[in-house]
Amino acid sequence: MRIIRLLLKSSKLLFTIASVSSVLTGFCSTMVIKQVHQAIGVTDFNQTEFVTTFLIFWIGYGVLAVVSTYTVSLLTQSIIHKLRVDISEKILTSNFVAIERNQGKLLPILTEDIKTIATSIDRMPSVTTGLATVIGILGYMLWFSPILTLSTVVLFAVVLVITKISLPMVRKYAEQARELWNDVYEHFEGLIYGIKELTLNNDYKKVYVHDLIVPTSKEQNAYNVKENLATSIASKSTDLVLLFGFGTLILLIFNTQFVTADVFGQYLILVMMTIAPLSSATGFMANLKRIEVALDKINEVGLVLELPKNKKDLKLEKNTSLGDKLIELKGVQHEYYNPDEDEHFELGPIDLTINKGELTFLLGGNGSGKTTLAKIILGLYPAKGGSIEYAGQQIDVNHIDDYRDQFSATFVDSYLFDKLLHIDSDNLEKNGNSLIKTLELTKKVTIKNKRFSTSRLSEGQKKRLGLMVSILEDKDIYLFDEWAANQDPHFKKIFYEIILQDLKKAGKTVIVISHDEQYFDHGDRVIKLMEGKLV
């Protein structure tokens, strides 16, 4: 069973303690029931012996139940922590194109699927205790009345068969509900991050809820209802089968007299003690199917993100001087095809040399391939044809991380991290406040304990902070994708005439995607793209 392997992998010691304490909790529960049951039928009741024995097992039940719950809680949180860290590391080491293509699937995995596993595992102590109690009571019942116990075991077997039949349906509906949750999550993201656009457009606002969120949510809820129905059938079949079986036994007893009504009455008390824990156990089997679906989604992360295999970490040689060839693209090609929208785009072949210390402007219309070319230069997109060289050394999978580390880049949709943990402390102290002053943000934000005091800023101000972070990273090569597009003329002037010139004076290599032709004379050359070709 996969969940058992997961628990053992997390901690064999904790799993052993949790299992043993749960079983012993069930044993103590059985003994308490046995003491009460035997006390009812005796004529010579020994009060002292009853109180002593009852209290020992009663206290044992309470203590062991707490130990079991505590150790399982430790196990659960250890597993959740490990899953979060493992998935995060997989995302950071995986193929960028695959991440970009599957962004909508990753957050639900990190939230919903891990939550499902945690919630289900937390139920295990009560389930294990319940099963141990059922087994213990069955042993006592076998001693009390072998023939009635045999009849009960047959009824339990019928319950398990019904549960087994219903479980595939639980999994089927759980998988379908989980797939639709990706769509629901995507719509919620649009609701939150697109709130300005929705607020300004009443027609789209109504359509967004009624034509997107409502039908998707209804369909997902329908599958959840079907899943819960299948789970209920699996769980309540225990009660139905047992109750029907006991009704049948009563008819047999009164017609055949194979046991007395008094014996059956005492036996029935024991059986009633097994219904609740047995129902809990059969209900948990449905939870196992939910866990399997969640684990499948988590395991898919490695497949979806195309994790690198046996990757070696080779370092690049970087002995170059100002004016030397730094990055050279030779016959580089890239192809993009989206079957859903019947969209096809080809870039290249591109032959391009970027020299060290050079300020290059990249110009082109919408859809010309500027950002795609930028991502190829950065090593985010792989070249489908041709090759890339850095300082005369060809870039392959063994050098890609080191190659990417030479760059700092800002894009139109760049995310602003308010924590600056990766920035060198001396550099941050030396240049941080001066950059805040240059970008005219002194009244809006300060840096304390390697983080910005606030990120609740206008979009233009956030882009200025993002530019500042990029500069503070102090990389050899900078790429700015339409950074100045939404800035007012004053800050465009600061960007082109101060920021870029300071970087150039510092010997940095700078690539700027821009349409601001009035500033092109500040650079060393201009490259123009048209329909995926250099012109």
Q: What is the mean pLDDT of each run of 10 residues along the chain (535 residues)?
A: 73 85 84 79 78 89 86 83 81 78 78 80 76 79 80 79 79 85 85 79 83 90 86 73 77 76 75 73 73 78 58 70 88 79 79 94 89 92 90 87 91 84 84 89 88 84 90 93 89 93 94 93 92 87
Express each pLDDT in 392-437 by its tens digit: 899 988 888 889 999 999 988 888 888 888 888 888 888 888 899 9
DSSP code string of 38-64: HHHH-SS--HHHHHHHHHHHHHHHHHH
Amino acid letter for position 42: V
> What are the residues whose beta carbons fall under 8 Å from the beta carbon of 61, sequence distance 6 or more?
25, 28, 29, 32
Amino acid letter for position 373: L
Give the length of the chain: 535
Q: In the structure encoding, which two tokens stand for residue 467, read together?
A: 């530019």
Phi, psi of 399 (to 5 degrees): -110, -5
Q: What is the pLDDT of residue 499?
A: 93
8-state DSSP, 405: T
Domains and CATH numbers, the chain: 2-304 (1.20.1560.10), 325-534 (3.40.50.300)
Half-sphere exposure of 367 (CA within 13 A, CB side): 4
Q: 393, 400, 327: which is closest to 357 by C-alpha? A: 327
Q: What is the pLDDT of residue 342?
A: 65
Express each pLDDT in 303-322 by its tens digit: 555 555 655 666 777 777 88
> What are the residues whose beta carbons fall under 8 Å from the beta carbon of 522, sequence distance 6 or more?
359, 496, 497, 500, 501
Q: Are 513 and 482 in contact (CB under 8 A)?
A: yes
Q: What is the pLDDT of residue 356?
A: 93
Q: What is the pLDDT of residue 339?
A: 61
Q: 61, 55, 37, 42: which is closest to 137 by C-alpha? A: 37
Q: In the structure encoding, which two tokens stand for residue 407, read together?
A: 């760059």
- According to DSSP, the residues that pair with 452 across neighbouring strands are 447
Q: Are 522 and 501 in contact (CB under 8 A)?
A: yes
DSSP reduced 3-state for 502: helix
Q: What is the pLDDT of residue 118?
A: 79
Strand duo 525-530 + 359-364: pairing: parallel
Helix (H) or strand (E) segment spanning residue 350: strand 343-355
For 310, counting Cβ atoms within 10 Å of its Cβ (0-12 exposed, 13-18 middle, 19+ buried), the class is exposed
* Alpha carbons 414 and 436: distance in angstroms, whole number: 19
Phi, psi of 350 (to 5 degrees): -115, 125
* Alpha carbons 90 and 88: distance in angstroms, whole number: 5
Q: What is the pLDDT of residue 47?
A: 84
CB atoms within 10 A of CB 234: 26
* Alpha carbons 534 and 328: distance in angstroms, whole number: 14
Q: What is the pLDDT of residue 41?
A: 64
* Alpha carbons 370 and 95: distance in angstroms, whole number: 21
Q: What is the pLDDT of residue 123?
A: 75
